[in-house]
Amino acid sequence: APTEAEEPTPESAETTHFIVMDKAGNIVCATQSLSLHWGAAVVAPGTGILLNDSLSNFGFGTKKYVNSAEPGKRPRSTMAPVIVMEKGKPAIAIGSPASDRIPTGVYQVLSNMIDFNLDPVAAIDQPRFHLKRSKSPSEPKNALELEEGFDAALAEDLKKSWEISFKQKNQYYFGSVNVVRLLPDGKREAFADERRTNVAAGE
């Protein structure tokens, strides 16, 4: 007898990162975002796809600087899909959503794996930090956000030079880093960060 269909999981309104690897080791590592809510509020004709409004990532104002809007330029973006090569072959694919926290999150997990030789599960699970960029004169210039679980002695030492704030452990703020690893024997492994709704699947 047919079974009733499950209720579909509501789609996230956030940036999405996904990684696909086939049996031959070919990889797609992609981060996509509409940027602000509803993107540009324009649908590409015949597709049903909303266009993003990433032009908002430009800096606007009278002062010219590297991220000022100009013809032919792309705006600064924090999206950082990464494929690590080893001896000319892909070894690790990694990426995450999380707006300004993408580069710091991706870097930390990669560093945990490469510099500290942690397995991907442990590398993803380690508490995160983020250097918060000041966006107004009223905000501290040396702001450092730490995820709960950070080494207490280190956090206390950092207070000497930084304005420290703590974020709850395992919540969406620090993103959701996905990792796919191709081992020398050809085995493929996928890992999903549970800070957001996330899944790893494969054969």
Domains of the chain: 80-203 (3.60.20.40)
Output b/e per residue, 13-32; b: 16+ Cβ within 10 A.
ebbebebebeeeeebebebe
User: What mean pLDDT is predicted for residues 55-71?
Assistant: 85
pLDDT in tens, 79-95: 999 999 999 989 999 99
Report pTM.
Answer: 0.84
Task: Give catalytic residue positions.
Answer: 15
d(CA 192, CA 124) in angstroms, rounded, equals 8
pLDDT in tens, 117-132: 999 999 999 999 999 8
pLDDT value at 58 more than 90: no
